[in-house]
């Protein structure tokens, strides 16, 4: 089993040219290895002419100080209305080539709007429109070095945009969990620099697509272990116990591979951890299988 992440960030600030950054990562769970690559571009393009109001994004340039690789094949995300195609190939820091070519399909399930109406208020920091498609079928090709694998599985699509610059100043913990009974769960815990949490919320999606907002009093997240990165020295939480009493849900998460850290200072200026999880869950005492991803930002000490 493998986990994957493919993300495109877009930043626009006044008269400064639009900046793009993209990250690609594969977690080889049985092989206990984590591969990632990154790209950035100034300017770039977005094609909004796709029928149905879709999008066609491409990050085509590897950027290093003073060097542009114009021969690199673009990383692309193309699609509309919950039917998408992902294509990208990168090189990990170990020199291993890896990539994916996947079709993902939500099969008509409606998007889940976060914070009830799809708008998350960050207060003085602005706001964000945010929706997810938490249960999408995925199929296609995964490449790892000389191996080419035909794969099927699940995908989770997030789309977030707005006028926010930063929230809290201390980073955030983000959880995405799919359970075997069709339940999908998102939790977001946003920290201040002093360790307090100005923004905590969740979204629970039933098997039929019905969405329910969870306020901070509806659930709890407790950390039971930590992991220290041997590459950056950053200490991250590394195991979580989640309870949602109103849903009779208990979820325990442990990373499938400890080292799922991305040092993206060359493209986004940040170091973060994002990776797949081993899920142990139950509803009203009945065990449930599941899959999950966790994203952790803001754990890099100031000045490092």
List pLDDT tens digits, range 46-82.
554 444 434 444 433 333 343 345 556 889 999 999 9
Rounded distance between C-alpha atoms, residue 150 and residue 144, angstroms: 11
Rounded distance between C-alpha atoms, residue 179 and residue 283, angstroms: 10
218 φ/ψ angles, rounded to the nearest 5 degrees:
-85, -15
| Per-residue pLDDT reduced to its tens digit, 112-155 | 999 999 999 988 778 899 999 999 999 999 999 999 999 999 99
In the prediction, which pLDDT does 46 show?
53
Average pLDDT, stretch 30-40?
A: 96
Rounded distance between C-alpha atoms, residue 120 and residue 99, angstroms: 33
The pLDDT confidence band at residue 167, using thresholds 50, 70 and 90, is low
In the prediction, which pLDDT does 58 show?
41
In the prediction, which pLDDT does 107 show?
94
Rounded distance between C-alpha atoms, residue 13 and residue 18, angstroms: 7
Position 169 pLDDT exceeds 60: yes
Closest C-alpha among 109, 98, 10, 132 to residue 59: 10
126-130, 213-217, 249-253, 286-290: least confident range: 126-130
Kindly list the distances between the CA atom of residue 248 and the CA atoms of 187, 257, 286, 298, 300, in Å, as whole numbers in the listed order. 16, 28, 10, 31, 35
Look up residue 12 and give its DSSP letter: E
Position 99 pLDDT exceeds 70: yes
Average pLDDT, stretch 180-197?
A: 93
Position 7 pLDDT exceeds 90: yes
Q: Please list the residues that pair with 98 across neighbouring strands.
A: 90, 144
The pLDDT confidence band at residue 301, using thresholds 50, 70 and 90, is confident
In the prediction, which pLDDT does 272 show?
97
The answer to whether 237 and 173 are in contact (CB under 8 A) is yes
Q: What is the mean pLDDT of the chain?
A: 89
Q: Which long-range contacts link 42-46 to residues 24+ away (Cβ below 8 Å)?
A: 42/17, 42/18, 43/17, 43/18, 44/10, 44/18, 44/20, 46/10
- CB-based contacts of 219, cutoff 8 Å, min separation 6: 187, 202, 242, 243, 244, 245
Give me the percent of the chain exceeding a pLDDT of 70: 88
Place of tokens 């919950």: 82
Average pLDDT, stretch 17-32?
A: 94
Position 97 pLDDT exceeds 50: yes
pTM listed for this prediction: 0.90
Structure tokens given for 246: 């109103």
In the prediction, which pLDDT does 150 show?
97
Position 202 pLDDT exceeds 80: yes
Closest C-alpha among 275, 304, 302 to residue 291: 275
In the prediction, which pLDDT does 130 show?
96
The answer to whether 61 and 70 are in contact (CB under 8 A) is yes
The pLDDT confidence band at residue 164, using thresholds 50, 70 and 90, is confident
Rounded distance between C-alpha atoms, residue 10 and residue 46, angstroms: 10
103 φ/ψ angles, rounded to the nearest 5 degrees:
-100, 130
């Amino acid at each position: 089993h493998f986990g994957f992440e493919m993300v495109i960030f877009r930043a626009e600030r006044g008269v400064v040219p639009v900046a793009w950054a993209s990250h690609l990562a594969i977690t080889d769970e049985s092989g206990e290895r984590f591969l990632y690559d990154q790209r950035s571009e100034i300017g770039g393009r977005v094609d909004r002419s796709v029928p149905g109001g879709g999008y066609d994004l491409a990050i085509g340039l590897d950027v290093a100080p003073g060097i542009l690789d114009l021969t690199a094949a673009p990383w692309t995300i193309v699609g509309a209305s919950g039917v998408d195609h992902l294509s990208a190939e990168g090189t990990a820091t170990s020199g291993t080539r890896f990539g994916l070519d996947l079709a993902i399909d939500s099969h008509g399930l409606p998007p889940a709007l976060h914070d009830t109406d799809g708008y998350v208020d960050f207060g003085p920091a602005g706001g964000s429109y945010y929706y997810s498609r938490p249960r999408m079928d995925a199929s296609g090709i995964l490449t790892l070095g000389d191996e080419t694998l035909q794969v099927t599985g699940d995908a989770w699509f997030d789309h977030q945009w707005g006028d926010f610059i930063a929230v809290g100043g201390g980073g955030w913990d983000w959880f995405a969990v799919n359970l075997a009974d069709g339940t999908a769960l998102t939790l977001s815990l946003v920290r201040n620099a002093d360790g307090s949490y100005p923004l905590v919320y969740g979204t629970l999606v039933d098997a039929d697509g019905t969405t329910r907002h969870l306020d901070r009093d509806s659930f709890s997240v407790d950390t039971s272990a930590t992991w220290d990165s041997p590459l950056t020295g950053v200490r991250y939480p590394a195991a979580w116990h989640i309870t949602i009493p109103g849903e009779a849900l208990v979820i325990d998460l442990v990373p499938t591979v400890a080292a799922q850290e991305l040092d993206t200072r060359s493209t986004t200026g940040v170091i973060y951890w994002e990776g797949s999880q081993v899920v142990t869950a139950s509803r009203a005492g009945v065990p449930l299988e599941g899959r999950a991803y966790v994203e952790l930002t803001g754990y890099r000490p100031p000045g490092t």
